[in-house]
Amino acid sequence: MQKLFFNGQFYDGVREEPRRGNLLVEGERIKGFFDSRELQPNLDQKGEKIDLEGAIVTPGLIDGHTHFMMFSQQLLSFRFSHCKSLQEALDVVAAGIKENPRIGGWLLGGGWDHNFWPEGLPDRQVLDKVTGDIPAAFFSKDHHSLWVNSAALERAGIGPDTPTPAGGEIVREEDGRPAGVLMENANDLILEIIPPPSLEVAVEALEKGMENAASLGLTGVHTFEGFRALQALQQMQRQGRLKMRFLMGIPTPQLEAALEVGLSSGIGNEYLRLGHLKMFLDGALGSQTAAMIEPYTSNPDYRGIPTMEEDEFSRIAKKAIDHGLGLAIHAIGDRVNRLAVDVLEKNQEQTRYYNLRHRIEHAQLLQPREIKKIGELQIIPSMQPVHLKSDQELIERHWGEERGRWAYACRSLLDSGAQLVLGTDAPVETIDPREGLYYAIFRRGQNMEEAITAHQALRAYTYGPAYAAGEEKIKGTLEKGKLADMTVFSSDFLQDPEQLKNVEILGTVVGGELVYWR
């Protein structure tokens, strides 16, 4: 079936000026572009004409880093991102405890940020008062800390004598009892006993997540989750229910299972493709667990928490690469960014053999040495400038001005020759791409030498993720023969980026299909 999108202004992702005219789609792909001065092509009998009324059309936006299943589930769960105090968070739980769906009998959710709570870190005792004996586990905003109640600790068998896991921390009271907050690898003590959602619940959540993402202009996401999410996405694909495109990463604990059945990066199709092995090297700035070369400015005796030993990381990385799996390496602090770059450099021969495109997820704090090497080695920095909403203050507080100069070094990375990928880390931040684009361009007005242009930001939200997935020949730009994935905006934010504050999403098109349309 043919569709003619006419009377629009098209930014094709190849040139920086818009093309006024009409775009013809046949099936799922772009058949051609027709200038406004040319006659509109004749459509087949079932063809459809869609009047864009002068709207701005770009290649379909792709969020390069999400936890989409978690984001989708949290649409059904407790959310604390708006809470400005511990008491407000407790009020949310108290108000919603009867209506909130329990997954496996647990109360789940997240989004709290103690950095901006006058009470500081929460604890189990205040949570017990509103949850009673129902186990509860709530992720922090950065998803590197877990707030739990006594019922959850009891189910997991965590008590005064529980040893602290390597690469983690159990916050304790003076007598040694767990206080109710776990960090980094200690989270696994709880997470491994929470039953996964049923397949039916997973599919229901993903349906809501896709609907929400489409309304925000997203045609695809890169996501990093376990086999239950993959199982649900596969079922939805078989049933023709996927309305956006997914690149699915593999968690490190599932590496052996993946290798046993011969999985490698790139297998799949245009709707669901296997991506990278996700590896964690440290924590996050918000939890002050990012691993640093020099101590934190706010704590001269502290350098963060590496979550994986260097020898173990080197061994697992080599094993994955030798089997054709690209790496997506979570690295926040400069210490582990250096480690990631050095290990990838040692594995260049096999990387080239399999044509793998390794990524560093977040790459939040780099030194000039690593920026240069990322460009030389063609490592992909996958970044989320939207974190600057809250991180700018934390950078100054915990890393200091001189070191913080190299935080979120988007322009320097582009200048190094690296292919930048942008995303949101949803549900850590809103999945709304307009905010991701805005903070890449404006950076809250600070450290503007690392700001990038609107066109560069758009490319990092379109072509960049397509390139990282090895799909730049089929999507990422609006060119003949490529998939007809498009995002329709109400106004031209590329000419005036300030319009990102109020530009509206008018439509989202995936494979020529109008999955969201106003």
pLDDT tens digits, 321-374: 999 999 999 999 999 999 999 999 999 999 999 999 999 999 999 999 999 999
Q: Where in the chain is the domain with CATH 2.30.40.10?
A: 2-60+504-517
pLDDT tens digits, 457-493: 999 999 999 999 999 999 999 999 999 999 999 999 9
- At 353 the three-state DSSP class reads helix
Average pLDDT rounded to a whole number, residues 62-74: 93
Sign of the Cα torsion 106, 108, 114, 116 reads: negative
* Amino acid in the structure at residue 20: R
33-42, 164-173, 244-253 — which is least confidently predicted? 33-42
Residue 444 has what pLDDT? 85
In whole numbers, what is the pLDDT of the chain averaged over residues? 94
Asked whether the predicted pLDDT for residue 34 surpasses 90, the reply is no
CATH architecture for the domain at 68-191: Roll (3.10)
Q: What is the biggest distance separating any 2 CA atoms in the chain, rounded to whole angstroms?
A: 81
Helices (H), 216-250: 227-238
Q: Where in the chain is the domain with CATH 3.20.20.140?
A: 199-501
* Amino acid in the structure at residue 23: L
Residue 312 has what pLDDT? 98
- Helix (H) or strand (E) holding 497, with range, is none
Q: Where in the chain is the domain with CATH 3.10.310.70?
A: 68-191
Task: Name the nearest CA neighbour of 167 among 330, 39, 51, 50.
Answer: 330
Residue 109 has what pLDDT? 86
Reported pTM: 0.86
What share of the chain in percent tops pLDDT 90?
84
Cis peptide preceding 196, ω within 30 of 0? no
Average pLDDT rounded to a whole number, residues 445-466: 95
Confidence of residue 42 (pLDDT cuts 50, 70, 90): low
Tokens of 180: 């109710």
Residue 151 has what pLDDT? 95
Enumerate residues 6+ apart whose C-beta is below 8 A from 168. Answer: 182, 183, 184, 185, 186, 187, 188, 305, 307
Confidence of residue 41 (pLDDT cuts 50, 70, 90): low
CATH 3.40.50.1820 is the classification of domain 199-501 = no
Average pLDDT rounded to a whole number, residues 162-183: 94
* 2-60+504-517 CATH, one of 3.10.180.10, 1.20.1440.230, 2.30.40.10, 3.20.20.10: 2.30.40.10
Tokens of 127: 């949570």
Q: Concatenated DSSP letters for 40-62?
A: PPPP-TT-EEEE-TT-EEEEPEE
Average pLDDT rounded to a whole number, residues 164-193: 93
Quickly tell me which residue has 């045609």 as its tokens.
Answer: 219
CA distances for 283 relative to 20, 114, 473, angstroms:
47, 16, 35
Confidence of residue 37 (pLDDT cuts 50, 70, 90): low
* Amino acid in the structure at residue 77: S
